[in-house]
Amino acid sequence: MLSPISPIYPISPISPLAPKSVPDMPQIGGVRLATAAAGIRYKGRTDVLLALLDKGTAVAGVLTRSKCPSAPVEWCRARLESGQARALVVNSGNANAFTGKTGRQAAKFTAELAAKAAGCRPGNVFLASTGVIGEPLDARAFDGVMDGLVAQASPSGWIDAAKAIMTTDTFPKLATATATLGDTVVSINGFAKGAGMIAPDMATMLSFVFTDAPITAPALQTMLSRHVIDTFNAVTIDGDTSTSDTLLLFATGSAAAQGAPVIERANDRRAAPFRAALNQVLANLAEQVARDGEGARKLVEVIVEGAVSKKSARRIAMSIANSPLVKTAFAGGDANWGRVVMAVGKAGEPADRDRLAIWFGGIKVARLGTRDPGYDEAAVSAIMKRPEITLKVDLGIGTGRDRVLTCDLTKEYVAINGDYRS
């Protein structure tokens, strides 16, 4: 039943912003992976991922703040309290969201299936689903593949795992980093899926990160909640927060056998390199999500400086990054700073029009609330043709600074989302 190949959901060519290569992913002690084609919705590709986790694995998670979360999100939220994980089941093709009682039953059934096959308790199985909303998920489809998944699970297969959870993604998203913990080198592997329905105040569509570092669940949760702020939560594609956003971080602790100290507090100084590596993996995956925004042709970094606070800078940066008029201007290669002013103005945060300065790709186009006298349209037009552009706004009224990532709004976004379900 296992699919030897994992063709990508082929509605769009690979994003021109995709990384040039996929990283070499090391094995993570205590983690085994397997994928299968259960036929949830797609033909000829994998759509189920099983991750098996050794006993003693701690888990932390960040889940969507949507008031209408999916059944798997509710399942995970309840299970995170224990902080213990033994398995993860993810499917693409159906989000099991807005499926009512049937959806809850499907989640429970899936966890029970996996628990039975993996030899653990259902409460230690974590779930995530992505795909269409509002259609019942027939979890019986997992019944035929679960035993095979457990039998097949291996410490490699990271790229296959990343492919199995894709929907409208055009490339698999993986990242890895190492850090020293005590005198031991520990590893962090992560993968994510994104594409659409990506917005702040969430954990991204789906992302799973694994480490062999021995870190207790409370410390892991504190680290994850802290580092999600400037990584996944600083990315927006379309301002639409999903019902299914799930970021889970699993720590198997297998590196303890090689002498790594057990970390019980998030602020433990010995974990500083680990925290930096974790931030790097999360930031890398989040950037890949922005690079694969539906229809994206340009990666746009929005930096806001001189705000009254970081929080205020974030709100203004998000107002800019979510503005359809700003995003279409990037699509059209138009350095339309007037629309940036508009987006600053509508954010509702303190701003003084007559102190505003704006740069596109390092070229100052406006200062003191009006066009820069040295403004060179040709130079800025050249900048706007690049695939990666930084837009900087200095409000000139404080020291608050923040940065978010987004992409342009193209006709392809409209095409992809006008036809997705049919």
Tell me which residues are annotated as active site.
Answer: 204
Q: What are the φ and ψ backbone dihedral angles of 277, each rounded to 5 degrees?
A: -70, -40
Residue of 55, 65, 140, 270 interacting with a copy of itself (CB under 8 A): 65
Would you count residue 102 as binding a copy of itself (CB under 8 A)?
A: yes
Closest CA to 135 of 181, 102, 171: 102
Backbone torsion region of residue 362, taken as left when φ is above 0, otherwise alpha when ψ lies between -120 and 50, otherwise beta: left
Would you count residue 380 as binding a copy of itself (CB under 8 A)?
A: no
Backbone torsion region of residue 361, taken as left when φ is above 0, otherwise alpha when ψ lies between -120 and 50, otherwise beta: left
Site for a copy of itself in 155-184 (CB under 8 A): none
CB-nearer residue toward a copy of itself: 265 or 353: 353
CB-nearer residue toward a copy of itself: 68 or 276: 68
Q: Shortest approach of a copy of itself to residue 195 CB, angstroms?
A: 11
Would you count residue 133 as binding a copy of itself (CB under 8 A)?
A: yes
Mark the segment that binds a copy of itself (CB under 8 A) among 24-32, 181-189, 223-231, 361-369. Answer: 361-369
CB-nearer residue toward a copy of itself: 71 or 251: 71
Q: What whole-number distance in Å separates Cα of residue 243 and Cα of residue 412?
A: 23
Site for a copy of itself in 80-99 (CB under 8 A): 95, 97-99
Would you count residue 239 as binding a copy of itself (CB under 8 A)?
A: yes
Closest CA to 77 of 60, 95, 96: 60
Q: What whole-number distance in Å separates Cα of residue 409 and Cα of residue 379?
A: 23
Mark the segment that binds a copy of itself (CB under 8 A) among 3-11, 25-33, 227-235, 239-247. Answer: 239-247
Contact 182, 261 (CB under 8 A): yes
- What would the two tokens of residue 206 be? 């789906």
Q: Shortest approach of a copy of itself to residue 329 CB, angstroms?
A: 7
Would you count residue 196 as binding a copy of itself (CB under 8 A)?
A: yes
Q: Shortest approach of a copy of itself to residue 291 CB, angstroms?
A: 18
Where would I find the beta strands (DSSP E) of 136-214? 173-181, 184-193, 206-211
Residue of 300, 339, 380, 406 interacting with a copy of itself (CB under 8 A): 339
Would you count residue 129 as binding a copy of itself (CB under 8 A)?
A: no
**Alpha helix (H) ranges present in 292-336?**
310-321, 324-331
